[in-house]
Amino acid sequence: MNRKIILASESANRRSVLNALNVIYEALPARIDEKTIRDEDLVKRAEKLARAKAEKLAKKYPDAIILAGDSFPLNNGKVFEKPSTIEEARLMLRQESGGKGKFYNGFCYIDKLNNINFSTTVTVDFSLRTFTDDEIERYIEVFPVLTWSGALFVGNIYGAGMVKEISGSFSAFIYGLPMELVIEYLRKSGIDINP
């Protein structure tokens, strides 16, 4: 039986994970108000955000397999969400420069037909190198910084070069979906993975 697989995101980063697995899926953003979902425990917050996205689409598509993720960094003790303006992005990059922190990647997988309803948060420890002011200005000019938490995306080669060190799930940190869990749960749903 062909199952409809829905990625609750339009993120090119998250789509690249499913593209790499050669599964047929549809990318549909859940469009939740992320600022209304809060928890002082950042592990719980990331999981709640991913679950809210998955559950919204699972109500509309009850026979589909739903995958959702949400990610944000904690750097130098501060949570960084998506900037609203270029000036805010510039400030974020200055604050993150040379910092150490933790990256939170909430993940939710719902397959009602197989009684699978799983969510978790994958955390990754990281440190960034120091950025120059000129580098920050050029980064803002070249990349869509308003689309990324903390105005920083490490999935392109330049952004990856801004990272000094990571410890944890590479795919969660780079693409916003823990590929190791995506593969495990798709297989539990009987989906063939053909990289």
Domains of the chain by residue range: 5-188
- CATH class given for the domain over 5-188: alpha beta
pTM (two decimals): 0.88
Q: Please give the DSSP secondary-structure letter assigned to residue 2.
A: P
Give, for all 195 residues of the chain, the pLDDT tens digit.
Answer: 578 999 999 888 899 999 999 999 999 998 877 677 788 899 999 999 999 999 999 999 999 999 999 998 898 888 888 899 999 999 999 999 999 999 999 999 999 999 999 999 999 999 999 999 999 999 999 999 998 889 998 888 888 899 999 999 999 999 999 999 999 999 999 998 877
- Rounded to whole angstroms, the maximal C-alpha distance in the chain is 55
**Residues 6 or more apart in contact with residue 95 via CB below 8 angstroms:** 75, 76, 78, 80
Residues acting as catalytic residues? 70
